[in-house]
Structure 1
């Protein structure tokens, strides 16, 4: 559903199902100016508030498609509230800089003072800091990305190498070019359904020792550059909640798809 044909097969390789260029192309001498134009929309997003529907796989665990209400700041603050079909949220995650709290209302548990990347790894298989999440969702790939080189391929698409080893894959007509995919370390992302240069759909693949992750997400009701109150990145912990470590979470990730009871499939008409 989210597939984006980036390049002809002659110059592309598959990174676990997402096609990205593999070398080749003609050097682009004005790579810095080119990247500044393409990255202008994502660089212009200081804050964002949005709904995210996310699902897929983390390791050998299926993560159910879940609607999430979220807010992010480029400076490194993030809030994600995973909504249930009814009743209390599946979880509320808040993070500022390098400290995160994870509230689990359905289990009356709380994880305090954790590293945000470790919490997101436990929830969805993505070890990302809050600023990295903001950059990933907007299409910048990395906070404050700076181009170091670029290559234009025969079909007109462009690979832009970024500081830190990341790369953005750009396609589209002159004046309407967008980041269609990117890679950063073990993470590869594919973007589509752009609105004013910003993606509304994405697919994320993360290589990892336990099978990595493969997630698909859709953003909607996106509001950008609004004032977000500091309280948005805080959460009140009700009395009686049990403090736990990430390793002590009951039942694994709250996003995990529950298996049907034994014999349930056979009982269906």
Structure 2
């Protein structure tokens, strides 16, 4: 599924084409997404896009009449297309823009969403979220303080959006490998020094993925239609049974929270 770097890549791809443009028409071909598309979204028509920002995996499009919030779900993507481009089977929503382009939402599984928030209100989907991993709020002591007394595995701990947002399965695997921490280690038993290292590797991995345009998976493409290339540099994710790139030990694969976890039994302790 699109994770934080893919969402950030999408945001950067579509922002130059949306900011300052007027939304002239909205076509909702399929309103039954993860949450039903609200009729209030039509209030955007005739109004200018003031800003686009990201919070966790949500893209926020702000106007004078309210904020539209996109979530790409498991398989969603936003692309800019020509108005003459025919809508395909899973192209569910079009925003027509004053510059002659169309922002098109494509989502085969329909686990994504288009939400609406009135001016001055906060979405319930955003109110419980932890700090952004690339922000100053995610400092060296944050993970250590949040982990005290917790017996859950460190991998599921750092994937909890209430602890820190955007550390999805791919990037949790990679960050823990670079930090030398086994994913099944209880979060409360990891030292502050090791959490300082993990904080650094989370920043490093997410930053590198964003710079390279996100990770190419089955369904993701950026807002400009170009795939990401971070998958070429993965150390452990998707490589269970292969040799560790650092020490040639066979990588082990286990399941945690119904997700694949891959780690090196020698490099990670």
Q: TM-score range by the shorter chain?
A: under 0.3
Q: TM-score, normalised by structure 1?
A: 0.24
Structure with higher strand content: 1
Structure with higher helix content: 2
